[in-house]
Every structure is written in structure tokens, then in C-alpha cells.
């Protein structure tokens, strides 16, 4: 992906304030920070989003995310940490190379609105769970 911003960071063509790097992942500071310490963890190969993420990269990126989350907590003294991960335009994704946001959170920082939720009846939950089991069975 010649013009992908995050591929260009991996190749060293664009600057990044790096936090951590291993064979499969790279972690660096977000240039638009919700709070100081707002970090991004990306996979090194170009993968558009979670729908294309293979098992080994998924394992590697979550391992790095856990390490970065501990570092964010230790370095910022935040009260909590929120992970945010967006996929496709409708999911809020703006850079189309898989990444996880690691957000330091502070008590009552009112950073993220929570979605309005309803409590579906049990038969609706059971029916949806069955549809998802079928979808999973086709994704072996
Ligand atoms: P998302 O909206 O979840 O796709 O997040 C993309 C994030 O990438 C945004 O929060 C941007 O601020 C961040 N971003 C874009 N370009 C860069 C860059 N060159 N270095 C670091 N972060 C970036
Ligand atoms: Zn890319």
C-alpha cells in the first residue's frame, strides 16, 4: 500500500513517536490525542481492518496492546484505560490500516459518550446468538 499513512510509518517514510516495536506490530503516539498518552498499536503488514486480520496477527497485536496499556497507565497515572478500535467507514474508521487506540482515561473525563442500549427479550438474544454461531462455523 504505497500511500497508506501507517504503511509509510512502518517503512520509516513518515515520522512517528515510537513506543514499542516487534516483528508484527508497531506502537506510537497518536498525533491527535484525546489525552496526553493516547497511543496507537498497529499491525506491520497492511491489513485494512479486523475483518481481514488473521489469527497470528490478532494475537500479536493484542499482546502489544496489553503491554502498551500497562505503560500508558504507569506513565500517565491515569485512572483507567479504554481501548477503541474502528472498522470501515460506518464503524468510524478514518485510517484504513488496522489499529487499536489506547486511551488513558480520568475519572469523569466525559470523553466517550455511551450508546443508548435496550434490553432485548431472551428469545431475540438466543436467535441472534444462533445466527452468529452459524457465521462463525463458516469462518473456520
Ligand atoms: P481511526 O479514526 O480509528 O481510524 O483512527 C485513526 C487515527 O490515526 C486518528 O486518531 C488520527 O489522529 C491518527 N493518525 C493519523 N495520521 C497519523 C500519523 N501520521 N501519526 C500518528 N497518528 C495518526
Ligand atoms: Zn497500510
> Would you state the cell numbers that stand for residue 95, as one nine-digit string?
485510517
pLDDT on residue 20: 97
Q: What pLDDT, on a 0 to 100 scale, did the predictor assign at position 140?
A: 64
Give the number of other Cβ atoms within 10 Å of residue 42's Cβ.
24
Q: Which residues line the pocket of ligand 1, CB cutoff 6 A?
A: 5, 14, 16, 30-32, 40, 86, 92-95
CA-nearest residue, atom 18 of ligand 1? 31
**Domains of the chain in sequence order:** 5-107 (3.30.428.10)
What pLDDT, on the 0 to 100 scale, is given for residue 52? 97
Residue 69: per-residue pLDDT: 97
Residue nearest to atom 11 of ligand 1 (CA): 32
> pTM of the prediction?
0.95
β-partners of residue 13 are none
Lowest mean pLDDT among 26-30, 74-78, 83-87, 116-120: 116-120
Cell numbers for 16, please give them.
512517528
Ligand with minimal distance to 1 CA: 2
- Interval 43-72: pLDDT, tens: 999 999 999 999 999 999 999 999 999 999
- Which one of the ligands is nearest to 27 CA? 1
What percent of the residues of the chain are helix, what percent strand, and what percent coil, each to the nearest 5?
35, 20, 45
> Separation of 106 CA from ligand 2 center, angstroms?
31
Tens digit of each residue's pLDDT (9 = 90 or more) over 1-49: 789 999 999 999 999 999 999 999 999 999 999 999 999 999 999 999 9
Q: Where are the alpha helices (DSSP H) in 1-140?
A: 5-10, 55-76, 122-137
Dist. CA 37 → ligand 2 center (Å): 23
Count of alpha carbons within 13 angstroms of residue 113, beta-carbon side: 3
Amino acid at each position: 500500500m504505497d500511500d497508506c499513512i501507517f504503511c509509510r510509518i512502518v517503512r520509516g517514510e513518515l515520522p512517528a513517536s515510537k513506543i514499542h516495536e516487534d516483528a508484527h506490530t508497531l506502537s506510537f503516539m497518536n498525533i491527535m490525542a484525546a489525552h496526553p498518552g493516547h497511543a496507537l498499536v498497529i499491525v506491520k503488514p497492511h491489513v485494512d481492518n479486523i475483518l481481514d486480520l488473521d489469527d497470528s496477527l490478532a494475537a500479536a497485536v493484542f499482546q502489544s496492546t496489553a503491554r502498551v496499556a500497562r505503560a500508558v497507565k504507569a506513565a500517565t497515572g491515569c485512572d483507567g484505560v479504554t481501548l477503541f478500535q474502528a472498522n470501515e467507514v460506518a464503524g468510524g474508521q478514518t485510517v484504513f490500516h488496522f489499529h487499536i487506540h489506547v486511551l488513558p482515561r480520568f475519572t469523569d473525563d466525559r470523553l466517550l459518550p455511551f450508546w443508548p442500549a435496550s434490553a432485548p427479550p431472551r428469545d431475540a438474544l438466543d436467535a441472534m446468538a444462533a445466527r452468529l454461531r452459524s457465521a462463525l462455523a463458516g469462518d473456520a
